[in-house]
Amino acid sequence: MSELEPKQAIHALTCRYAQAVDRRDFSTLAELFTADARLSGPGFHMEGPQAIAKGMAELGQYRATQHHVHQQLVDIHGDTATGETYCVANHVYQQDGVQRKLDWGIRYQDRFERLQGQWRIAARELVVDWTQDLPLREA
């Protein structure tokens, strides 16, 4: 197997994570993690797939989110891998009758494991490099 195949599978995994979060598909989200997975970021830390899914349900405070996965660098070490995944996450919400969009420039510090031939997220640390919060103009 070439090194490209696991990297493509891991990139698809991170895209499925973004899709599950944005669609609020928390049962699918839980399936993307190992049994002892950790997800952490500014002001939060969750352990285990069910706790992660439950914690991510807090995104319900936003009318919509879109996580745009960008470049990803991954180092494969047999059935484990480490990587850094860039993302811009858009969060649409309403405040004082005004639609707003909160954007985060994110770098995920990732650790992955291959279990029974499938890559899963073992640890994901969300590092926020920048934020922007602006009124959203209607289309």
Q: Is the dihedral of CA 82, 87, 93, 96 positive or negative?
A: positive
Dist CA 23 CA 36 (whole Å): 24
Q: For position 77, what pLDDT does the model report?
A: 96
By percentage, how much of the chain surpasses pLDDT 70?
99
Taking phi over 0 as left and psi of -120 to 50 as alpha, with beta for the rest, 4 belongs to alpha
pTM over 0.75: yes
5-60 pLDDT, tens digit each = 999 999 999 999 999 999 999 999 999 999 999 999 999 999 999 999 999 999 99
Choose among 60, 55, 67: nearest CA to 17. 67
Number of domains in the chain: 1
Residue 87 CB neighbour total at 10 angstroms? 19
79-89 pLDDT, tens digit each = 999 999 999 99
Q: Identify the domain containing residue 116 by its residue range.
A: 4-135
Instruction: Give the domain CATH number at 77.
Output: 3.10.450.50
Q: Which residues of 96-111 are buried (b: 16+ CB within 10 A; e: fewer)?
A: eeeebbbbbebebebb
Angle at 10 between CA 32 and CA 63, to 5 degrees: 55
Dist CA 26 CA 3 (whole Å): 30
